[in-house]
Amino acid sequence: MVSDRRAQIGRRLGALALALLAASPVHAAVERPHALAFKLGYHVYPTSSYLQVSGEAGLGGVNEFRGQSLEVLDYTYQWTPRWGLNVSLLNGYYRKYTPLENLQQSILTWYTAVTPVYTIWGTKRPESWLVYAGAGVGRYGLILRFDDRTGSEEFHDYTLGYHTLIGVEYCLNEQVGFVIEEKYARARVKFGRELEGAFRNTHIDLGGHNVLVGVRVHF
């Protein structure tokens, strides 16, 4: 009889512990833990040997190697009110045309990045602000193409890099928010082993600063 009473007390204490654990803010369930975002941005690339040689050759230096960027896929899973995991696929495109040489230079860049994100300030509720930051790694790819009257040449390569980000989101309601982000990355792609002359063994740094604005949908 005593053992039955002890077992009953143990079950009650266990149920109480589970209830307290479930009510803890650290383990609290997150409403609408999934989010998809669409972002447009402007990317400023750092100086690299390729840009220096390009400037000398009249193909466009560091000032021209900047332009629009687009996040085709941006998914975030929020597993606690503060911590989330972001996966993004970003494309950037740049084109330079030199009429005197009848030469068109096209550069396509793409990045696939994984970023743990921490909410520094704010909570996700209607008409409120969130400030978040994160750091992660990614795969950075490059297609470099030259077109002239005689034909075209393409060069493909990729590298691994790292990045940091800080962002602000205004939650319009429980489902929709507007975001502003700043990302800084370091990712240097070496190429040019197939080329002759000054462009041989040059590198392009695909990192730099990228400022993005967009819409995030929570579900």
How far is the C-alpha of 61 from the C-alpha of 145, rounded, in Å? 16
The domains of the chain are located at: 1-29, 31-218
State how far the alpha carbon of 66 is from the alpha carbons of 4, 16, 115, 140, 141, in Å. Answer: 75, 59, 24, 16, 16
pLDDT digits 0-9 by tens, 139-157:
999 888 888 888 888 888 8
Torsions phi, psi for 22 (to 5 deg):
-65, -30
pTM greater than the 0.85 cutoff: no
40: its two tokens: 């447009």
How far is the C-alpha of 65 from the C-alpha of 94, rounded, in Å? 7
Instruction: Domain 31-218: give its CATH code.
Output: 2.40.160.20
pLDDT digits 0-9 by tens, 66-98:
778 889 889 999 989 999 999 999 888 776 666
Alpha-helical (H) ranges within 24-105 are 49-57
